[in-house]
Amino acid sequence: METPRILIVDDDDEVRAQMRWALAPRYDVLLADDRFSALEVLKKEAPDVVTLDLGLPPSPGDTREGFLALSEMLQLNPLVKVLVITGQSENENGVEAIGQGAYDFLAKPVNVDELKVIIDRAIHVQRLDRERRELLEKSTYNSFEDLLGASSQMQKVFVTIEKVAGADVPVLIAGESGTGKELVAHAIHRRSPRKDKPFIAINCGAIPESLLESELFGHEKGSFTGAHVQRQGRVELAQGGTLFLDEIGELSGALQVKLLRFLQQRQIERIGGRSLIAVDATAVRPLPRAPGSQRTSPLPWPFSTRARTKSRSERRFM
């Protein structure tokens, strides 16, 4: 493992020499005596931790130069951990420094053993921050809407989503259970010209059979007991957008026929209605299957484009 780098910023030659002697056996120690030299070292050497005396020239009697150095260091390298060194009765400056982004503070005279503990902790946190940033950058690079995947198989899924998103036809998403078929449906919607319109998801298996027809297609006022007002169904609510139909196999034969009319003609009829209602929505449905299974849909899926999610064994995230 690379030796951690520590930058000591202090205008007192004796203090710098003492701290270098105390820390050199464990760290690669760098030195600076003012704000400008400290920033130059920070740019060139990228230390992990900086110890910063707030009283720096040209005005070592106050903390303005030290706070300015702290601000510029964090702007230059947001991941660097700055330990502020304050006067014995100046803890308020240390608290203010933490509020401005410093990692911690120590009051003079500095206890070297305590300093080493804080430095080691700061190095650990700094490395965690760096790893987290690298992971975020990598996940952003390999992300597609809410899907993540760096493997060639997942990249093919992303390309397929881009292709079908622009096609105004029903889409069938095949894949094992738990492989993200609804996430793919959301991605198709967000990449399509319909992205600003509703995305309506229907889990037919979660709706009681007695309510399914009304939930899907809506009803007119007075069409049955309890129908006190006209109500739009989920299919109609997807007007202009995308309709995600899950567990279609749970529908009765009569409802599947009615749904097939919508898929083929893009028209529905509410319960108790006497006229057909045109619904312009892209229908997307998952086709769950076990590994190796060739299960087919119980409902014909006309003019469809097929997308297939990858199994867990085919995917490699990050």
pLDDT digit string, tens, across residues 119-144: 999 999 888 888 877 776 665 555 67
Of 181, 249, 260, 188, give the one whose Cα is nearest residue 217. Answer: 260
The verdict on 150 and 162 lying in the same domain is yes
The verdict on 147 and 257 lying in the same domain is yes
- Choosing from 92, 107, 140, the residue where a domain stops is 140
The single residue listed with the structure tokens 């892209």 is 282
Give 106's DSSP letter: E
| CATH number of the domain encompassing residue 293 | 3.40.50.300
Report the pLDDT value the prediction gives residue 142, as an integer from 0 to 100. 58
Give the chain's domain count: 2
The verdict on 162 and 24 lying in the same domain is no
The verdict on 135 and 151 lying in the same domain is no
Report the pLDDT value the prediction gives residue 26, as an integer from 0 to 100. 93
Q: Which of 25-29, 244-248, 286-290 is predicted with the least confidence, judged by mean pLDDT?
A: 286-290
Cα–Cα separations (whole angstroms), residue 159 to 170, 187, 265: 18, 11, 29
Residue 285 near residue 301 (C-beta atoms within 8 A) = yes
- Choosing from 140, 168, 202, the residue where a domain stops is 140
DSSP letters spanning 227-294: --S-B--HHHHTTTSEEEEE-GGGS-HHHHHHHHHHHHH-EE--BT--S-EE---EEEEEEE--TT--
The verdict on 11 and 72 lying in the same domain is yes
The verdict on 96 and 232 lying in the same domain is no
d(CA 153, CA 144): 13
Where in the sequence is the domain holding 35, given as residue range(s)? 5-140
Collapse the DSSP code of 193 into the 3-class scheme (helix H, G, I; strand E, B; otherwise coil) and give the result. Answer: coil
Instruction: Give the pairing type, strands 143-144 and 81-86.
Output: unpaired
Report the pLDDT value the prediction gives residue 59, as an integer from 0 to 100. 83
Q: What are phi and psi of 249, to 5 degrees?
A: -60, -15
Integer Rg of the chain from CA? 32
Instruction: Give the pairing type, strands 282-288 and 171-175.
Output: parallel
Report the pLDDT value the prediction gives residue 290, as an integer from 0 to 100. 45
**Residues facing residue 287 across a β-bridge:** 174
**Residues facing residue 201 across a β-bridge:** 244
- Choosing from 140, 162, 178, the residue where a domain stops is 140
The verdict on 262 and 289 lying in the same domain is yes
Q: Which of 83-97, 134-148, 185-199 is predicted with the least confidence, judged by mean pLDDT?
A: 134-148
Looking at this protein, which amino acid is placed at residue 157? V
Q: What's the pTM? A: 0.49
Q: How confident is the model at residue 164 (pLDDT cuts 50, 70, 90)?
A: confident
The single residue listed with the structure tokens 């400008």 is 36
Q: What are phi and psi of 307, to 5 degrees?
A: -125, 145
Element (H, E) at 210: helix 209-217
Query: What mean pLDDT is reported for the chain?
Result: 83
